[in-house]
């Protein structure tokens, strides 16, 4: 089965390309490299011993993507391509609405005009906002998003529900990721944040390697066991494997289909726990201090992931320690390569 992976040069996409190939699918990447680098394909080749077809194309370009879908005889699509920086989305909402909504609408029109009828969409736990009850299930009511970025994910989910309802033959799954972290165990691929990272784990590894002076913990006066925020940190390779499970389910469907799954570990860890685990597993002292709260941060969230286990037959297997070990090995590799 030939799978078009939009955004396949990015953090989650590149790990998914590896897992797809290892599961027997043939991934074909479309990425405009707006937030990634073609050097990721060297890492993928080192892991798989094979080159993956790659087209540097904007997936808002209907004609070019149609040509690729037809030429490569695409059977299914995983749509990662989107902008994802929460802070930037507040400053440049039009950029985010245009790319994140526009590229999904384009993929849906392409599905109508080609034989590719299956799609997996990257959604996010951001659609839950600060939930009243945790862990959140897929049935937890969605809240108004905290940012234009978050709003694009909620709107995309609505677009998908309406489109499948109106369609005859589309089969679509939305996956709500919690906090993806870590890197491939080979240290050949990982996260390549642009500029100063806003996410916790890249900031931790960049501080430990000396690229940043110190980590600021955004608040320790929350209503949580140690006062810092609680999140559901999931290893990116576990997350990647869930996309294989989602495609397997889509390829079993005969009628039109839409469903949504939480992808997390089912467990919450605090920011301080992440720091302490990082220090312990890598035998490093991290320079950090407690600072003020960051605007828009939810206090605590983690997912109930029973539905993914029951229906997709998927469950996260890797621990927080493994994620933080792999993230550190990747940071060391970047240093070796002078990146």
Instruction: List residues with catalytic annotation.
Output: 149
Q: Which residues inside 115-144 make contact with ligand NAD, applying CB under 6 A?
A: 122, 124
Among 16, 154, 229, 326, binds ligand WQD (CB under 6 A): 229
Q: Per CB under 6 A, does 106 bind ligand NAD?
A: no
- Residue 34 found at the interface with ligand NAD (CB under 6 A): yes
Residue 270 and residue 263 in contact, taking contact as beta carbons nearer than 8 Å: no
Burial class of residue 223 in the structure, from the number of CB atoms within 10 Å of its CB (0-12 exposed, 13-18 middle, 19+ buried):
exposed
- Interface residue with ligand NAD among 9, 47, 127, 312 (CB under 6 A) is 9
235 binds ligand NAD (CB under 6 A): no
Q: Which of 13, 148, 202, 303 binds ligand NAD (CB under 6 A)?
A: 13
243 contact partners, CB below 8 Å, separation of at least 6:
16, 19, 20, 78, 120, 175
Please choose, out of 2-10, 196-204, 276-284, 308-316, the segment that lies near ligand WQD by the rule CB under 6 A: 196-204
* Number of helices followed by number of strands (H, E) in the chain: 12, 13
- Name the residue number minimizing CB distance to ligand NAD: 10
Name which of residues 98 to 127 contact ligand WQD (CB under 6 A).
Answer: 124, 126
Give the DSSP H/E element, type plus range, for residue 30.
Answer: strand 26-30
Query: 33-52 mask for ligand WQD (x: CB under 6 A)?
Result: --------------------
Minimum Å distance from CB 283 to ligand WQD?
Answer: 22
Q: Which helix (H) or strand (E) segment is 87 a member of?
A: helix 86-91
User: Do residues 186 and 46 make contact, with C-beta atoms less than 8 angstroms apart?
Assistant: yes
- Is 271 a binding residue for ligand WQD by CB under 6 A? The answer is yes
List, in order, residues 6 or more apart from 1 with CB less than 8 Å away: 25, 26, 75, 76, 247, 251
Beta bridge partners of 180: 234
Asked if 315 and 234 count as a contact pair (C-beta separation under 8 A), the reply is no
- E-strand stretches of 193-276: 215-218, 230-231, 233-235, 257-263, 269-270
Q: Which is nearer to ligand NAD, 30 or 187 (CB)?
A: 30
DSSP state of 294: P
Q: State both tokens at 196.
A: 């100063």
Residue found by looking up tokens 């990634």 in the block: 36
Least Cβ distance, residue 317 to ligand WQD (angstroms)? 21
Q: Candidates 101-109, 210-218, 237-245, 331-339 — which segment interacts with ligand WQD by CB under 6 A? A: 210-218
Place of tokens 């070990």: 325
Considering the complex, state which of residue 254 and residue 312 has its C-beta at the smaller distance from ligand NAD: 312
Q: Which residue carries 């931790």 as its tokens?
A: 204
Kindly tell me which of 53 and 227 has the beta carbon lying closer to ligand WQD.
Answer: 227
- The CB-of-103 to ligand WQD minimum distance in angstroms stands at 15
From candidates 25, 128, 177, 222, binder to ligand NAD by CB under 6 A: 177
Using CB under 6 A, list all residues that contact ligand NAD. 6-7, 9-13, 30-36, 58-60, 80-82, 84, 99, 103, 122, 124, 177, 180
């Amino acid at each position: 089965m030939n799978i078009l992976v939009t955004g396949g040069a990015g953090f989650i996409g590149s790990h998914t390309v590896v897992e797809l190939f290892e599961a027997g699918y043939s991934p074909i990447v479309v990425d405009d490299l707006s937030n990634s680098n073609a050097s990721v394909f060297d890492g993928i080749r080192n892991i798989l011993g094979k080159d993956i077809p790659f087209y540097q194309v904007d997936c808002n370009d209907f004609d070019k993507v149609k040509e690729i879908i037809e030429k490569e005889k695409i059977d299914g699509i995983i749509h990662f391509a989107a902008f994802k920086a929460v802070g930037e989305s507040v400053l440049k909402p039009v950029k985010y609405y245009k790319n994140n909504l526009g590229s999904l609408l384009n993929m849906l029109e392409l599905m109508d005009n080609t034989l590719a009828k299956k799609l997996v969409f990257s959604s996010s736990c951001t659609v839950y906002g600060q939930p009243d009850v945790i862990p959140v299930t897929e049935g937890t009511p969605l809240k108004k998003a905290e940012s234009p970025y978050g709003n694009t994910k909620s709107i995309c989910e609505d677009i998908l529900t309406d489109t499948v309802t109106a369609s005859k033959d589309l089969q679509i799954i939305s996956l709500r990721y919690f906090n993806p972290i870590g890197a491939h165990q080979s240290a050949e691929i990982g996260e390549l944040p642009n500029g100063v990272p806003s996410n916790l784990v890249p900031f931790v590894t960049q501080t430990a390697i000396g690229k940043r002076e110190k980590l600021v913990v955004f608040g320790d006066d929350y209503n949580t066991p140690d006062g810092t925020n609680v999140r559901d940190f999931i290893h990116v390779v576990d997350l990647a494997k869930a996309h294989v499970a989602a495609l397997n389910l889509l390829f079993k469907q005969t009628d039109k289909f839409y469903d949504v799954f939480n992808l997390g570990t089912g467990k919450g860890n605090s920011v301080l726990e992440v720091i302490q685990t990082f220090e312990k597993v890598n035998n490093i002292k991290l320079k950090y201090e407690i600072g003020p709260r960051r605007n828009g941060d939810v206090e605590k969230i983690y997912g109930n992931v029973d539905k993914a286990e029951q229906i997709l037959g998927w469950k996260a297997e890797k621990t927080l320690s493994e994620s933080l070990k792999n993230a550190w090995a990747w940071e060391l590799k970047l240093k070796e390569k002078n990146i």
